[in-house]
């Protein structure tokens, strides 16, 4: 067991960005590690997650999670080793997932951590395929916009953390054809060769709507939206009567300094009796045991393929977030801390 440290480094929000974040919006600082109270644990973080939703928390606006505070450390999903414990439920030596990333060491109530089984899957999997991205894809395609046998499914940001899993999960749920869009030929090759997509659309090569129409001339049944904007408009135009869309994210507008224009074809929702439904993965935490039970087997037998983009060291966390917002990642963006 690692000896207990007295100080640790953390990444704080130095200032709020205007448009895309830059390095100057972040600050690395040292913080004293307090003594543990009854029921608390000290975690040495080994991996942390960087996700597009974090951009919204950098603004001083209300949201599903509170804004990051200027001068305070950021937070987010992480995994690590318990190196000190005053809890009977989570002993020293346990590996846990929790929400106090962006720092080397985290003190928390044991109830705020979940013990993970590293014999079942390696630590990083609990931030990706067995974590929030995997659960998001699974809940979106089983509940929010249910995939039915024979459906044609379209996924945007299909080379990202959620999208790279969603196409494969859609196929397992009975989809007859899965179409993904991503940026650039390299990512599009991965969609076809690694992630099991039948067609790959390159949004950098031209407007997405005609590409989607060519890939699905008879329309689509389900759309998983990670992008918003023109991708959502294209999907609304392609959805067949009774079609369903799960609105998971809208990364195309996260760095916008003005309100992004909405789809111009909303009356198609009426004409096609379409269902467009937003989702917050926090509403589906109860599905996590069911999902892990299935996905761990898929990982073990190789039928669920994953990719990771890894930056090493806490100091690289700001660059990881800046990168994920510009599409620099393939699969899950992770920071390896120790």
pLDDT in tens, 81-96: 999 999 999 999 999 9
- Do residues 263 and 235 touch, judged by C-beta distance below 8 A? no
Q: Convert the pLDDT of each residue in 24-60 to its tens digit.
A: 999 999 999 999 999 999 999 999 999 999 999 999 9
Please work out, in degrees rounded to the nearest 5, the angle formed at the alpha carbon of residue 188 by the alpha carbons of 240 and 164: 70
Residue 302, φ and ψ in degrees, nearest 5: 80, 5
For 147, residues 6+ apart whose C-beta sits below 8 A from its C-beta are 141, 153, 170, 173, 174, 175, 221, 222
For 239, residues 6+ apart whose C-beta sits below 8 A from its C-beta are 219, 220, 221, 223, 245, 268, 272, 274
Q: Give the three-state DSSP class for 293.
A: helix
Q: What is the pLDDT of residue 1?
A: 45
Q: Give the three-state DSSP class for 262.
A: coil
- Complete DSSP assignment for 229-241: HHHHHHHHHHEEE
What mean pLDDT comes out for the span 5-9? 96
The token pair at 231 is 């991708």
pLDDT at 2 over 50: no
Q: Burial letters for 30-60: b for 16+ Cβ neighbours within 10 Å, e otherwise?
A: eeebeebeeebbbbbbbbbbbbbbbbbbbee
Q: Convert the pLDDT of each residue in 214-265 to its tens digit.
A: 999 999 999 999 999 999 999 999 999 999 999 999 998 888 888 878 899 9
Q: Convert the pLDDT of each residue in 172-228 to its tens digit.
A: 999 999 999 999 999 999 999 999 999 999 999 999 999 999 999 999 999 999 999
Q: Convert the pLDDT of each residue in 271-301 to its tens digit.
A: 999 999 999 999 999 999 999 999 999 999 9
What mean pLDDT comes out for the span 302-311? 97
* Residue 78: pLDDT band with limits 50, 70, 90: very high
Q: Give the three-state DSSP class for 142.
A: helix
Q: What is the mean pLDDT of the chain?
A: 96
Q: What is the pLDDT of residue 3?
A: 61
How far, rounded to the nearest angstrom, does the alpha carbon of residue 137 sit from its chain's CA centroid?
9
Residue with more model confidence, 4 or 273:
273
Residue 163's alpha-carbon distances to 77, 146, 273, in angstroms, are 19, 16, 25
Residue with the two structure tokens 């998983």: 224
Q: What does pTM read for this prediction?
A: 0.93
What mean pLDDT comes out for the span 59-77? 96
């Amino acid at each position: 067991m690692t000896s207990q440290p007295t100080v640790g480094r953390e990444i704080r929000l130095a200032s709020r960005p205007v448009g895309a974040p830059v390095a100057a919006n972040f600050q690395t600082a040292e913080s004293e590690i307090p003594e543990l109270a009854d029921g608390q644990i000290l975690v040495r973080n080994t991996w942390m997650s960087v996700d597009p939703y974090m951009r919204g928390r950098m603004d001083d606006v209300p949201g599903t999670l509170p804004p990051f505070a200027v001068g305070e450390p950021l937070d987010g999903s992480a995994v690590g080793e318990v190196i000190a414990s005053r809890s009977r439920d989570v002993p020293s030596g346990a590996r846990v997932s929790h929400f106090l990333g962006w720092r080397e060491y985290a003190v928390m109530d044991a109830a705020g951590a979940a013990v993970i089984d590293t014999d079942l899957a390696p630590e990083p999997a609990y931030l990706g395929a067995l974590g929030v991205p995997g659960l998001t894809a699974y809940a979106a395609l089983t509940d929010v916009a249910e995939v039915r046998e024979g459906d044609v499914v379209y996924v945007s940001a299909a080379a990202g953390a959620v999208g790279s899993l969603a196409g494969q999960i859609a196929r397992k749920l009975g989809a007859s054809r899965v179409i993904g869009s991503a940026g650039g030929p390299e990512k599009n090759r991965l969609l076809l060769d690694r992630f099991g997509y039948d067609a790959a659309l390159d949004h950098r090569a031209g407007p997405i709507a005609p590409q989607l129409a060519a890939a699905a001339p008879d329309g689509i049944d389900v759309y998983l939206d990670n992008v918003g904007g023109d991708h959502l408009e294209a999907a609304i135009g392609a959805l067949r009567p009774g079609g369903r869309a799960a609105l998971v994210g809208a990364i195309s507008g996260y760095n916008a300094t003005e309100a992004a224009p909405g789809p111009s074809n909303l009356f198609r929702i009426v004409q096609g009796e379409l269902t467009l439904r937003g989702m917050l993965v926090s509403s589906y935490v109860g599905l996590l045991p069911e999902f892990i039970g299935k996905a761990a087997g898929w990982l073990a037998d190789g039928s669920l393929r994953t990719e990771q983009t890894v930056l090493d060291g806490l100091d690289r966390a700001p660059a990881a977030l800046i990168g994920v917002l510009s599409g620099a990642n393939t699969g899950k963006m992770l920071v390896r801390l120790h």
